[in-house]
Amino acid sequence: MPSAEFWYEFASTYSYPAALRVAALAEARGVSLVWRPFLLGPIFAAQGWRDSPFNLYPAKGRYMWRDLERTCAAMGVPLKRPNPFPQPSLLAARVALALEGDQRAHFSRRVFAAEFGEGMAIGDRATLGALLTDCGIDPAAGFERAESDANKARLKAECARAAEIGIIGAPSIVAHDGEVFWGNDRLEQGLDWAAARAAKSP
């Protein structure tokens, strides 16, 4: 079965529609998907950015929010801008990484829906705890795993890996052969690539 990775960042606006779309797109192509939460902070910092480029370049930010409005309207999903933007995403990323398989995907979609669909503060421990409960996970156990030294180190390694393989933004699809496809508008192309390349393998 062909496989691909879905790299996403909870503070990233376009990761929101992507997280809602990607599972069905992968399934339709017979592609097995690995959800890989990471942080864009270190990647942006390497480019000299200490804030979201959408804040640093206001014209770009205005365009992005309007584009995202159109994207969400076309999908029929709500959009409510969280304040502040970007939201602190470290704890959410740690919690997601400490989960596995379907639980990780399910929790991640809930976080995005809360953050960008309802404008909730996902840096807040109580918010994340309630989302964990909704997913049938005990919050205390979830946070304990999330904040273990091993899991913190694992998230750091994920961020380093992202930079190493040429990821420059989120969301990104990475095919099993290393091809990187950046953006909510590249999900189909990335998954098509993964499906087609795998079909050619012996």
State which of residues 20, 95, 105, 180 lies at the interface with a copy of itself (CB under 8 A). 180
Q: Is residue 199 at the binding interface for a copy of itself, with CB under 8 A as the rule?
A: no
Asked whether position 201 contacts a copy of itself by CB under 8 A, the answer is: no
Rounded to the nearest whole angstrom, what is the least distance from the CB of residue 168 to a copy of itself in the complex?
5
In the numeric block, which tokens belong to residue 78?
């709500």
Binding-residue total with a copy of itself (CB under 8 A):
22
The answer to the question of residue 81 lying near a copy of itself (CB under 8 A) is no
Instruction: Kindly state the tokens that stand for 101.
Output: 């398989």
- Read off the tokens for 92: 């959410």
Q: At residue 61, what is the residue type?
A: G
Give residue for tokens 């990187």.
180
- The yes or no reply on residue 70 touching a copy of itself (CB under 8 A) is yes
> Which residue, 57 or 85, is less far from a copy of itself as judged by CB?
57
Letter for the amino acid at 80?
K
Pairing state between β 3-8 and 172-175: antiparallel
Smallest distance, a copy of itself to C-beta of residue 93, A:
21
Residue 80 contacts by C-beta under 8 Å, 6 or more apart in sequence? 116, 117, 118, 119
Q: If binding is defined by CB under 8 A, does position 51 make contact with a copy of itself?
A: no
- Measured CA to CA, the distance from residue 75 to residue 158 in angstroms comes to 30
Q: Which residues bind a copy of itself (CB under 8 A)?
A: 43, 46-47, 57, 59-60, 62-63, 66-67, 70, 163, 166, 168, 179-183, 185-186, 189
